[in-house]
């Protein structure tokens, strides 16, 4: 019997190694798996490369806390500024954290490409800007494009609305955001879910992420982070 | 975006205030268009599209059919826009993941994107994401994807900076968001089209002369026709 459900957050995060690249779902605080982030803080892995749209939403909490603790070597993101969290910018100013800034659509597509087995792709986004400097370009049908490489994760941390023991997932409203594509792009996909349901309860037409992309599921009945929103 | 309100109007004309500028942009959006409104001032444009005119607003974080802000008792914590404000979903709206949301943008499916800008150049270059290197971490969000991907890009901004420097320029001095992308510029003084010949003035606020507008503009302006 396939059973991807683990009993604790600690069990869910077992084996996450120092130096891992971690794809972190969410947009701002919505859809961000805060309980898994707390678990990662507890678990102790360091020198992490975190791939997420933002670089922390609330000081002393979640990703901001992980950054404050000096556990993040580098952020790969589209928008690291926040009016409610200064943790990233403070460390960035001190030269204590790396930053790769990526246009948001290119970030999403690099992650999608990783999940779909596409090593690189060409896009007109960012051509002629600072963010295309040093990257190969190619003119395709009269349009200048820049090459962008797939972005794989060692681990993805995902927040779902519903999950079953096979790891089939649904998402709630705009909390879907990066979660499904990150689940596809990582060697180890770890999910925190608001609701755990019996196999067969989910309408197959409503499943957004099928279990093939999921390794571990932990039930977090009330994700305070999502409810606090932005 | 800075406040567009300029209190003095010694030259016999009044620049549009922020909300009037948003309303002016909204006038030109026809029913049936799929639109993305940038963070800040462009977001206000939605307030001036009457609900009976079916314009469908897109938000980068996977929302198609964005509605107005909820009343405080009916906030849905899972529903925000790209500016991380709480919103509602209109009847007929839908959710997608981030790659599909940007496929709508990058695949050329949006009829219009309206972005704020620091500068727009006469060849359609736009600078709207970074002013100078150094003091803060760079942050681009979805601006580069939107500028290149939407079928048409309109920029909305004050005509000059707070200290009077032109924003409608021959060449952008700030780092570019996209090359040759802007189709039309709405400022608090005028509506300008970007054409192969340069900026063509389509409209000016009442009382403003062509010469007075040119005096506040770095790029050479052309009269309509």
How far apart CA B188 and CA B168 sit, in angstroms, is 12
- What CA–CA distances, in Å, run from B129 to A67, B44, B183, B185, B210? 24, 19, 18, 17, 30
**A197 inside 8 A of chain B by CB:** no
Tokens found for residue B62 = 């996977």
Query: Given this model, what pLDDT does residue B135 score?
Result: 62
Which residue out of A125, A158, A228 would a mutagenesis test of the B interface target, given it has the greatest number of B Cβ atoms within 10 Å?
Answer: A125
Spell out which residues of chain B touch residue A53, defining contact as CB-CB under 8 Å: 98
Q: Would you place residue B23 in the very low, low, confident or very high pLDDT band (cuts 50, 70, 90)?
A: very high
Residues of B designated as active site:
60
Domain range for B59 is 18-223
Query: Given this model, what pLDDT does residue A206 score?
Result: 98
% of chain A exceeding 70 in pLDDT = 97
Q: Which of residues 73-92 of A touch B (CB under 8 A)?
A: 78-81, 88-89, 92
- Higher per-residue pLDDT: A83 or A148: A148
Spatial neighbors of A102 by CB under 8 A, at least 6 apart, are A76, A77, A78, A110, A131, B140
Q: Which of residues 134-163 of A touch B (CB under 8 A)?
A: none
All domains of chain A in start order, with CATH: 18-118+151-197 (3.40.1080.10)
Residue A201: count other Cβ atoms within 10 Å of its Cβ: 11
**A127 inside 8 A of chain B by CB:** yes
In a domain, B4, yes or no: no
Averaged pLDDT of chain A:
95
The tally of CA atoms less than 13 A away on the side-chain side of residue B139 is 16
Spell out which residues of chain A touch residue B93, defining contact as CB-CB under 8 Å: none
Pairing, β B63-67 against β B88-95: antiparallel
End-to-end CA distance of chain B: 32
Spell out which residues of chain A touch residue B148, defining contact as CB-CB under 8 Å: 124-127
Query: Given this model, what pLDDT does residue B225 score?
Result: 76
In a domain, B12, yes or no: no
Q: What is the pLDDT of residues A3-48, one digit of tens each?
A: 999 999 999 999 999 999 999 999 988 999 999 999 999 999 999 9
- Which residue in this structure is represented by tokens 């100013």? A93
Our count of domains for chain B comes to 1
In a domain, B8, yes or no: no
Q: Would you place residue A228 in the very low, low, confident or very high pLDDT band (cuts 50, 70, 90)?
A: very low
Of A57, A58, A15, A59, nearest to A40 by C-alpha is A15
Of A54-68, A202-216, B92-106, which gets the smallest average pLDDT?
A54-68
In a domain, B98, yes or no: yes
Q: What is the DSSP code (8-state) at residue B44? A: G
In a domain, B44, yes or no: yes
In a domain, B173, yes or no: yes
Q: What is the pLDDT of residues B121-178, one digit of tens each?
A: 999 999 999 886 566 789 999 999 999 999 999 999 999 999 999 999 999 999 999 9
Q: Would you place residue A222 in the very low, low, confident or very high pLDDT band (cuts 50, 70, 90)?
A: confident
How far apart CA A51 and CA A227 sit, in angstroms, is 22
Question: Residue B148: closest CA among chain A residues belongs to which residue?
Answer: A125
Tokens found for residue B161 = 């900076």
pLDDT for A2 beyond 70:
yes
Mean pLDDT of A203-220: 98
Domain holding B77: CATH number? Answer: 3.40.1080.10
In a domain, B164, yes or no: yes
- Which residue in this structure is represented by tokens 């603790």? A69
Of B219, B40, B18, B208, nearest to B122 by C-alpha is B219
Spatial neighbors of B171 by CB under 8 A, at least 6 apart, are B121, B125
Pairing, β B119-121 against β B168-169: parallel
- Higher per-residue pLDDT: B193 or A224: B193
In a domain, B6, yes or no: no
Of B115, B142, B138, nearest to B128 by C-alpha is B115
Q: In a 3-state reduction of DSSP, which class is residue B145?
A: helix
Helix/strand/coil (H/E/C) assignment for every residue in B177-219? CECCCEEEEEECCEEEEEECCEEEEEEECCCCCHHHHHHCCCC
Query: Given this model, what pLDDT does residue B18 score?
Result: 96
CA distance A141 to chain B (A): 15
Interchain contact, B144 vs A30, CB within 8 Å: no
- Which residue in this structure is represented by tokens 């690291």? A80
Query: Given this model, what pLDDT does residue B10 score?
Result: 57
């Amino acid at each position: 019997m396939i059973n991807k459900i683990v009993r604790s957050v600690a069990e869910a995060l077992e084996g996450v190694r120092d130096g891992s690249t971690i794809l972190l779902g969410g947009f701002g605080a919505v859809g961000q798996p805060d309980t898994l982030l707390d678990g990662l803080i507890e678990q102790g892995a360091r020198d992490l490369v975190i791939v997420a749209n933002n670089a922390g939403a609330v000081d002393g909490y979640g990703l901001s806390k992980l950054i404050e603790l000096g556990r993040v070597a580098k952020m790969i993101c589209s928008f690291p500024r926040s009016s409610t969290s200064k943790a990233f910018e403070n460390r960035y100013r001190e030269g204590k954290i790396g930053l790769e800034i990526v246009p948001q659509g290119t970030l999403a597509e690099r992650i999608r490409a990783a999940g779909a087995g596409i090593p690189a792709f060409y896009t007109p986004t960012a051509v002629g800007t600072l963010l295309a400097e040093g990257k190969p370009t190619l003119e395709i049908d009269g349009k200048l494009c820049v090459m962008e490489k797939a972005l794989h994760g060692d681990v993805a941390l995902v927040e779902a609305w519903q999950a079953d023991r096979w790891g089939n997932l649904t998402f709630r409203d705009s909390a879907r955001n990066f979660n499904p594509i990150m689940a596809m792009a990582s060697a180890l996909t770890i999910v925190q879910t608001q609701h755990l349901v019996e196999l067969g309860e989910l309408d197959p037409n409503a499943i957004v992420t099928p279990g093939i992309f999921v390794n571990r599921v932990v039930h977090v009945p009330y994700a305070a982070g999502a409810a606090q929103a932005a | 975006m800075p406040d567009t309100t300029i209190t003095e109007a010694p030259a016999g004309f009044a620049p549009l205030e922020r909300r009037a500028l948003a309303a002016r942009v909204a006038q030109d959006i026809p029913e049936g268009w799929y639109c993305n409104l940038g963070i800040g001032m462009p977001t206000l444009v939605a307030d001036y599209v009457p609900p009976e005119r079916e314009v469908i607003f897109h938000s980068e974080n996977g929302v198609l059919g964005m509605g107005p802000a909820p009343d405080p008792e009916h906030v849905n914590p899972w529903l925000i826009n790209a500016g991380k404000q709480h919103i509602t979903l209109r009847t007929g709206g839908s959710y997608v993941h981030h790659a599909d949301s940007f496929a709508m943008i990058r695949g050329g499916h949006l009829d219009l994107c309206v972005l704020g800008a620091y500068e727009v150049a006469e060849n359609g270059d736009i600078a709207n994401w970074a002013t100078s290197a150094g003091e803060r971490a760079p942050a681009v969000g979805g601006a580069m994807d939107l500028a290149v991907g939407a079928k048409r890009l309109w920029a909305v901004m004050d005509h000059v900076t707070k200290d009077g420097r032109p924003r409608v320029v021959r060449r952008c001095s700030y780092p570019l968001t996209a090359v040759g992308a802007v189709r039309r510029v709405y400022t608090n003084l005028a509506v300008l089209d970007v054409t192969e010949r340069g900026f063509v003035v389509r409209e000016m606020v009442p009382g403003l002369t062509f010469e007075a507008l040119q005096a506040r503009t770095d790029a050479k302006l052309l009269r309509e026709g």
